[in-house]
Structure 1
Amino acid sequence: MQFSMAAKLDYVAGTYGGRRRPARFLCLFLKLLQIQPEEDVVLEYIKQPELKYLRALGCAYLRITARYPTIFQTFEPLFADYRKLRYRDMYGKISIIHMDEFVDWLLREETVCDVTMPQMPKREILEQTGMLPPYQSVLEDDLEDLEDLERSLQELQGAKDAKDAAGKKEEEKPAEEVVPPAASSSQVAEPSKPRKDRREEDDASRDDGRGDRDRDDRRDRRDDARRDRDRDRRDRRDREEEAAKRKRHEDREDREERREKRDKKDKANRGDDDRAKKDKANRGDDDRAKKDKAKTKDDERKSKKTKYANKADEERASGHAKKDKDGLSVEEWNEIRKEMGLKPLK
């Protein structure tokens, strides 16, 4: 199932989009880290010539899990793989890279497809410790064939130039030298000199051709090295710019998220403050109502006290007086007691 899903990959990517959605390549890569297949199985993934994205997936997993000599010995032959790969950056934009470029990323870069790679020692250190043999370029045979071809072409060109020069000298000779009227022994031996000169000129032209070829080779190597440095510098600059853009994008998203949280918190606090103010206002209204009611009652009591001297006056003012159990009031009893010569009731 894992192999069939990896065979359906159509681009290389880590995360992309505003919400940093993980790509299928990254999901399968993390799944491999989860199930931890054997190293032989991963090497079989890399050896698949038809499935280039499966090879890229196997290389990424091997870079994380394998030993350093195994990584170098497995990756170096892949520098001759120039097939195109589709790469999706963090903004979702599709660009074209090559397999050898992706392998070079795995060996040189700290982060590939949003996965931090473990640090690796330089190849020279592994060569000094005897863990790796000296580096041999996969293009060395092609370079030797190219040098042999250039050498043969230059030799042919030198021979042609020498032949043309000899023909021109033959045309410039006087007629008497070409067909002498009386050939002596000294005159017969004379034509051997131009052939010797031609051989010397041929040797000199070949030496010059070899010198020119060596200079051309050195110049071509310098040009290739300069182009490689320029490409590495350009790729490094592009990656730095992309990392800076990604960081700015993440910072902007973090700021927006923090601003949204702050706005929500402020809104909730404002709602709490409004409710507290309303509750306080309601409590103030209740307190004022209670105070007004109590004040009204006090005013009523004060007005009653100032209006009547005692309770009897108040009862008389109200039109009735308190009567005892016999039906006589206090005033009536006082009248009776006065007639009897007794003290009045209080």
Structure 2
Amino acid sequence: MAYHKADAKAMLDDRGYAGKLIRGQNPATLLERAVLDRITDSMYFKEQCFGLNAATLCDRAADLQHIGGTYGTTGKPTPFLCLIFKMLQLVPNDDVILEMLNQPALALADAEEDEDETTETDQSKLGYFKYLRALAAFYIRLAWQPKDIYQTLEPLLADHRKLKRRARENYALTYMDQFIDDLLTKDRVCATSLWKMPTRVALEDLGELEPYESALGDELDEIDRESQNGHDDGEVSENGGDQRDRESGSGGPIGSPKSDGSDGSVRG
């Protein structure tokens, strides 16, 4: 008779592995082996992650209180990291991940009253469960292709909500856009070494991505125009001063003696 075991170490053995693959490799290898051993030995993973599927995992993720990798002197894995490993076990469909990332803010009833605001997609009104969104974003960075990673995560840079991050000895405050920027630019996040993906500039040169348009593009253009106008006004003022000096017959500063050959002294 077969029994289910709350032990995922069998997945760490590549010999005869026949499960789902990510970029042609065992998903478990996307995390460091030392971290994997701590995850599979943790009580949270054995008790709270056993028997989860893509739907029930969302319930666990909605209860998260912080992000982070490992903490304490022994390097215990956070629930956030345990759920990441469980997602690597399940390898959910892309549609499921996108729904986790951009779940509508159904609990925000006041959002329906703001009829005068723009109807365009507002990232601040999506992903009501922010730690569920952070979990999905981290999984996307680990499992998806570079082009899809940039196209999916860059819109989240407009999400400025606060996140609590558990460090080794304490808690720290960060923001969703900072977390997303770390996923796109850094090589190590949440005690996990991220695989090296091509830079955005390289993908733009290959024609896979359009040039990036910053959300602050209009404001930056306005600042440039104001700076240029101020520079032009300075040139006009300087030229006007030179013209007045020439009309007064003096090329020197105001108050200097005229160059008429006299030294301005009184002779006795």
Q: Which TM-score band (shorter chain)? A: 0.5 to 0.7
CA distance in 2: counterparts of 1:212 and 1:80, whole angstroms: 31
Q: Which residue of 2 aligns with 1:57?
A: 135
Amino acid at match of 2:166: R
Query: Which secondary structure state, in structure 2, belongs to the residue aligned with residue 85 of structure 1?
Result: strand
Is the alpha carbon distance of 1:134 and 1:20 closer, same or farther for their aligned partners in structure 2, counting shifts above 3 Å? same
Q: Which residue of 1 aligns with 2:198?
A: 121
- Equivalent pairs: percent with the same residue? 42
CA distance in 1: counterparts of 2:188 and 2:182, whole angstroms: 9
Q: Deviations over 1:54-112 (max 9, x none)?
A: 11100100001111111111111111111110011122x01100111101111122121
CA distance in 2: counterparts of 1:126 and 1:9, whole angstroms: 34
Contact 1:77/1:138 (<8 A) preserved: no
Q: TM-score, normalised by structure 2?
A: 0.54
CA distance in 1: counterparts of 2:211 and 2:185, whole angstroms: 19
Is the alpha carbon distance of 1:68 and 1:90 closer, same or farther for their aligned partners in structure 2, counting shifts above 3 Å? same
Could you tell me which runs of 5 or more consecutive residues in structure 2 were left unpaired when the two chains were aligned: 1-55, 104-126, 234-268
CA distance in 2: counterparts of 1:214 and 1:83, whole angstroms: 40
Q: Which residue of 2 aligns with 1:212?
A: 230
Q: Which residue of 2 aligns with 1:41?
A: 96
Is the alpha carbon distance of 1:65 and 1:214 closer, same or farther for their aligned partners in structure 2, counting shifts above 3 Å? farther
CA distance in 2: counterparts of 1:106 and 1:81, whole angstroms: 14
Q: TM-score, normalised by structure 1?
A: 0.42
Larger radius of gyration between Structure 1 and Structure 2: 1
Amino acid at match of 1:111: R
Q: Which has the higher helix share?
A: 1
1:89 corresponds, among 167, 170, 184, to: 167
2:145 corresponds, among 67, 79, 89, to: 67
Q: Tell me: higher relative CO, structure 1 or 2? Use CA pairs within 8 A at least 6 residues apart.
A: 2
- 1:182-193 to 2 correspondences below 5 Å: none
Q: Deviations over 1:25-69 (max 9, x none)?
A: 000010000110011111111113211111110010000111111
Provide the aligned C-alpha RMSD in A.
Answer: 2.3
Is the alpha carbon distance of 1:76 and 1:21 closer, same or farther for their aligned partners in structure 2, counting shifts above 3 Å? same
Query: Which secondary structure state, in structure 1, belongs to the residue aligned with residue 163 of structure 2?
Result: strand
Large movers: runs of 4+ above 3 Å:
141-144
How many residues end up aligned between the 2 structures? 155
- 1:1-346 to 2 correspondences below 5 Å: 1-48=56-103, 49-91=127-169, 93-143=170-220, 147=222, 211-212=229-230
Could you tell me which runs of 5 or more consecutive residues in structure 1 were left unpaired when the two chains were aligned: 155-208, 216-346
Superposed displacement of residue 141, structure 1: 3.8
Amino acid at match of 1:80: A
